[in-house]
Amino acid sequence: MHFPVRAITLDLDDTLWPIAPAIVRAEDALDDWLRRHAPRAATRWPPDARRRLRARCDEERPHLAHDMTGQRRWMIERMLADAGEDTALVQAAYDAYFAARCEVEHYDDSVPALERLAARVPLAALSNGNACLRTIGLMHLFRFQLGAREHGAAKPDAGIFHAACARLGFAPGEVLHVGDDIRTDVEGAQRAGLRTAWINRGGARWPRTMPPPDLEFTTLAALADWLDANPQPESMSA
């Protein structure tokens, strides 16, 4: 399939890097910080208890569903308060967690592919998570990063896709959204009028009941190959 691509929006977690190892690393970093600075909270809130607290956050504070930073800060404050620790420690505890959360391990193809894509068209990051591209060291490849927290709503809400297109200066049909998640990335972008590319690293089958993506690849490198094989008009280059 060939169609013009003036810009690309990209999901981050599980598209550029696997999220699970980063979250495990972040939880371990928080454990270590609590043991050193708030030991009663460390004892009171082992990982299983924190998972239950996360579920309570989802139930009691649905207005934070799009705000991973707000969720985590609320959880840490609750943990400290319930254990009789100083709640003024929230920021320092969160900083320890977040620094480790941004220690991501890129898929082998991700960075070279991003460099190739960025040389061809403008890139924008569009994520429901709270990873910081500046901290990770990839911000120079992107025009901007738009997160659900900053926008006020998460994918698959059409508004976040439209906001990204407006900042890029292109109509939705001229922008290709790239991501791993069937519902939040592909279905959400389709409903917002964007072109879609599904990064299917695990070899999953597309649901028969849903309209397929415009493109499907097992790696980001394959997307870069596709873009190289389908040159865009000069006026569409970055």
Using alpha carbons, list the distances in angstroms from residue 82 to 41, 78, 129.
8, 6, 27
State whether 121 and 228 are in the same domain.
yes
What is the distance between the alpha carbons of residues 88 and 100, in angstroms, rounded to a whole number? 21
43 in a domain, yes or no? Answer: yes
Half-sphere exposure of 131 (CA within 13 A, CB side): 30
2 in a domain, yes or no? Answer: no
41 in a domain, yes or no? Answer: yes
The CATH number covering residue 142 comes to 3.40.50.1000
State whether 127 and 180 are in the same domain.
yes
For the chain, 238 residues long, give each residue's pLDDT as a single digit of tens. 778 999 999 999 999 999 999 999 999 999 999 999 999 999 999 988 988 998 887 888 788 788 889 999 999 999 999 999 999 999 999 999 999 999 999 999 999 999 999 999 999 999 999 999 999 999 999 999 999 999 989 899 999 999 999 999 999 999 999 999 999 999 999 999 999 999 999 999 999 999 999 999 999 999 999 999 987 665 444 4
Using alpha carbons, list the distances in angstroms from residue 52 to 6, 22, 90, 167, 226.
44, 20, 19, 38, 44
Q: Which DSSP helix (H) or strand (E) runs through 24? A: helix 19-37
Name which of 161, 198, 158 is nearest 182 in CA terms: 198
Using alpha carbons, list the distances in angstroms from residue 43 to 26, 49, 97, 142.
18, 10, 17, 42
State whether 30 and 110 are in the same domain.
no
State whether 71 and 133 are in the same domain.
no
The model's pTM: 0.91
State whether 38 and 93 are in the same domain.
yes
158 in a domain, yes or no? Answer: yes
What is the distance between the alpha carbons of residues 213 and 200, in angstroms, rounded to a whole number? 11
88, exposed or middle or buried, with CB in 10 Å at 0-12, 13-18, 19+?
exposed
State whether 150 and 163 are in the same domain.
yes
State whether 44 and 142 are in the same domain.
no
pLDDT of residue 2: 78
What is the distance between the alpha carbons of residues 87 and 94, in angstroms, rounded to a whole number? 12
* Domain final position from 101, 119, 152: 101
Q: Helices 90-101 & 19-37, crossing angle to 10 degrees?
A: 150
In this structure, are strands 195-199 and 175-179 parallel, antiparallel, or unpaired? Answer: parallel
State whether 139 and 213 are in the same domain.
yes
Residue 4 and residue 236 in contact, taking contact as beta carbons nearer than 8 Å? yes
Number of domains, the chain: 2
1 in a domain, yes or no? Answer: no
pLDDT of residue 238: 42
pLDDT of residue 236: 46
Sheet with 123-127, side-by-side order of all strands: 144-147, 123-127, 7-10, 175-179, 195-199, 215-217
Give the range of the structural domain holding residue 114, as residue numbers without chain letter: 7-18+106-236
State whether 14 and 131 are in the same domain.
yes
* Domain final position from 85, 101, 117: 101
State whether 11 and 45 are in the same domain.
no
What is the distance between the alpha carbons of residues 166 and 175, in angstroms, rounded to a whole number? 10
The CATH number covering residue 71 comes to 1.20.120.1600
pLDDT of residue 235: 41
pLDDT of residue 234: 56
Buried b (16+ CB within 10 A) or exposed e, 185-209: bbbbbbebebbbbbbbeeeeeeeee
